[in-house]
Amino acid sequence: MSTRKVMIYSRFERFWHWTQMALIVTLLFTGFGIHGFHRLISIDLADRIHTVSAIGVMVLWLFAISWILTTGVWKQFMPTSQGLWRVVRFYSYGIFKGESHPFRKTYRRKLNPLQAVTYLALKLILFPAIWLSGFAYLTYGLWERFISSGTAYETVALIHTAAAFAIVAFVTIHVYMLTTGHSFVGHVAPMITGFDDVDLSPEEEAYLEADEPGHIR
């Protein structure tokens, strides 16, 4: 195996990542403003921006889901127990002892087992929870007459807020992880340029150099 700079993040993937980040930060900021956690902007303005940003992130994810399914990227998110506990041990213990990361990116696998499980949970549980509860929250006036319980609105709001706090926790951990191992710039650069250090077999290296020379350095 040899280590080369390989483009593993496509233009759409980078666009999706940064646009999603901007929309999520906007949603969190305006959402907490609506709930009274700050008064940096008016509630009416926060509500309008929140609604537009929510529609934006839903449209973005419709394109992202189509891209994930049609390009085969969904395979990256398939969980595996192979090496999972070594990665868990590293982040809970080894990282504080200066140990080397047990996972190395390969051409076929750019997410370590813990990342795969985490991102799959985000996409299948957390994101749908906040989208569905947000949509129910937004359309409450259309369905409230069909619900006999008076606590439905409060339940939807609670689920939506709880999911928002869970996303805050994920973002916080995500940013913290960027400060470990390589330099912060070293972690962020691949999501800007698309290139990262990847272990390649001789066959993979030969294929990239011959058929996709623009994807390898």
At residue 149, the pLDDT reads: 63
CA 145 distance to own-chain centroid:
36
Strands 195-200 and 2-7: antiparallel
Q: What is the pTM of this model?
A: 0.82
At residue 148, the pLDDT reads: 65
In the predicted model, is pLDDT for residue 200 greater than 80?
yes
Give per-residue pLDDT as tens, 121-176.
888 899 889 888 888 888 877 777 777 666 777 888 888 889 989 999 988 988 88
Cα angle value 59/119/166 (rounded, 5°): 85
Residue 112: C-alpha distances to residues 102, 139, 165 (Å): 9, 39, 25
Give per-residue pLDDT as tens, 69-110.
888 888 877 877 888 888 888 888 888 887 888 888 877 788
At residue 150, the pLDDT reads: 65
Distance between CA 133 and CA 164 in Å, rounded?
11
- The confidence band for 182, taking pLDDT boundaries of 50, 70 and 90, is low
Least confident interval from 46-50, 69-73, 147-151, 213-217? 147-151
Ordered by start, the domain boundaries in the chain are 2-9+72-215
Distance between CA 118 and CA 121 in Å, rounded?
5
